[in-house]
Amino acid sequence: MSDAVETDRRLLTVTDLRTTFSIAAGDVQAVRGVSFALDRGRTLGIVGESGCGKTVLARSIMRLNLGSNVTTTGTAEFAGRDLLSLPMADMHEMWGMELAMVFQDPMTSLNPLVRVGRQVTEHLRQHLGVGRAEAARTAVDLLNEVRIPEPEARLKAYPHELSGGMRQRICIAIALACEPALLFADEPTTALDVTVQHQILNLLGREQRERDMAMVLVTHDLGVVAGRTDDTLVMYAGMVVEQAPTGSLFEEMRHPYSEALLRSLPRTSQVSHTRLAAITGRPPDLIDPPSGCAFSPRCPYVQPRCREEVPPLSAVDDPDHRFACWTPVGSPEGMAAFARNVAEGLPQAVAVDLTAPSSTGSGGAS
């Protein structure tokens, strides 16, 4: 592909985005220098444990209310304009039109006191300037589009009269109404049961492809992005620790944190009550993050250098696959460090060795 074509498809370029909250206890460094690019019609998964900065990152880019104690720096160029320096009035025009967002809990974006039909049609009238009758017709079409049965009846319902899955479909319908170029979906299925989760994710995937819409799918569940996103960005403590085409990430996971997330997923082959390999320890304090690699207090591969020097996010073999680790998963140095940590009885290494000895390269040393 020529550079010209690539530039033309580029929709969003985020560069060194940092967001800090000033609170009484100090400055919470929620996002610490995130950069990524997204082309039109592509999907990006952003994955990490709760508290790693996914929502703050998405809301910072969207300029959604993060409070008055917040500072964001960096740039987020969307179709040639830096969203972070646009006047709020311009942002208001872009919301719902070019940029849309679907949240974890549909009840936070729906008004409980207003029938859903009116919420959909008001949105259409406000953003598209269409009349009442046309808005009503479009609302029915949109509900059909998101596979809501008997749309006319559902439009008369109040949000609480619908199931969680139906409510989320309504939010997706509203988000899609103005054909946005980019949709942020922040844990859109976390509040839903597993079957409905799949339906909603499939719906989002289908709409994204059919509309050539770019999508950022934010989730704490690495399993959600598998097979659903073109690229994945793994975040830890406000930073990107691994970034790759989703297929490469699963085939050749290089960062110990990504590996730990993978290990904590339920496997279909495991008996349902098998204890999962939860990640030892807790994410760090973002007011005073650890020196060196932020994952070092929990990492089974940790060595002295990790506690002193922050590993840069860089590519080794594949330019599209970047990771921030001194001794990545699968490297001889990584295996040696892991074996040493197990031998020395380092708790997080021992825990991994006991739960999944074959996947760590320890060769069943236990």
Ligand X SMILES: Nc1ncnc2c1ncn2[C@@H]1O[C@H](COP(=O)(O)OP(=O)(O)O)[C@@H](O)[C@H]1O
- Residue ranges in contact with ligand SF4 by CB under 6 A: 256, 293, 295-296, 299, 301-302, 306, 311, 325-327
Q: Which residues contact 322 (CB under 8 A, 6 or more apart)?
A: 240, 242, 243, 244, 313, 314, 315
Stretch that binds ligand X, among 47-55, 93-101, 243-251, 289-297 (CB under 6 A): 47-55
**Residue 62 or 139 having the CB closest to ligand X:** 62
Instruction: Label residue 192 exposed, middle or buried (CB < 10 Å: 0-12, 13-18, 19+).
Output: buried
- HEC-encoded secondary structure of 157-195: CCHHHCCHHHHHHHHHHHHHCCCCCEEEEECCCCCCCHH
Query: Which residues between 37 and 66 bind Mg ion (CB under 5 A)?
Result: 54-55
**Residue 142 or 233 having the CB closest to ligand SF4:** 233
**Residue 117 or 311 having the CB closest to ligand SF4:** 311
User: Among ligand SF4, ligand X, Mg ion, none, what binds residue 23 when CB lies within 5 to 8 Å by partner kind?
Assistant: ligand X
Residue type, 20: T
Strand partners, 34: 17
User: For residue 223, how many other CB atoms are within 10 A of its CB?
Assistant: 15
- Binding test (CB under 6 A) with ligand X, winner from 11, 34, 38, 52: 52
Q: Which residues contact 113 (CB under 8 A, 6 or more apart)?
A: 158
User: For residue 15, how many other CB atoms are within 10 A of its CB?
Assistant: 15
Question: Does 56 contact ligand X by CB under 6 A?
Answer: yes
Residue count, binding to ligand X (CB under 6 A): 14
User: Among ligand SF4, Mg ion, ligand X, none, what binds residue 233 when CB lies within 5 to 8 Å by partner kind?
Assistant: none
- Binding test (CB under 6 A) with ligand X, winner from 11, 12, 30, 139: 30
Stretch that binds ligand X, among 45-53, 92-100, 260-268, 303-311 (CB under 6 A): 45-53
- Binding test (CB under 6 A) with ligand X, winner from 67, 129, 149, 319: 67
User: Among Mg ion, ligand X, ligand SF4, none, what binds residue 325 when CB lies within 5 to 8 Å by partner kind?
Assistant: ligand SF4
Query: Which residues between 266 and 295 bind ligand X (CB under 6 A)?
Result: 286
Backbone angles phi, psi at 291, to 5 degrees: -75, 160
Considering only CA atoms, which of 52, 55, 53, 13 is closest in space to residue 36? 13
**Residue 168 or 360 having the CB closest to ligand SF4:** 360
Query: Which residues between 220 and 239 bind ligand X (CB under 6 A)?
Result: none
State the nearest-atom distance from the C-beta of 186 to Mg ion, in Å: 6
State the nearest-atom distance from the C-beta of 264 to ligand SF4, in Å: 16
Stretch that binds ligand X, among 48-56, 165-173, 300-308, 329-337 (CB under 6 A): 48-56
Question: Does 21 contact ligand X by CB under 6 A?
Answer: yes
State the nearest-atom distance from the C-beta of 362 to ligand X, in Å: 30
- Binding test (CB under 6 A) with ligand X, winner from 6, 8, 16, 23: 23
User: Among ligand SF4, ligand X, Mg ion, none, what binds residue 256 when CB lies within 5 to 8 Å by partner kind?
Assistant: ligand SF4
State the nearest-atom distance from the C-beta of 103 to ligand X, in Å: 11
**Residue 55 or 360 having the CB closest to ligand X:** 55
By CB under 5 A, name the binding residues for Mg ion: 54-55
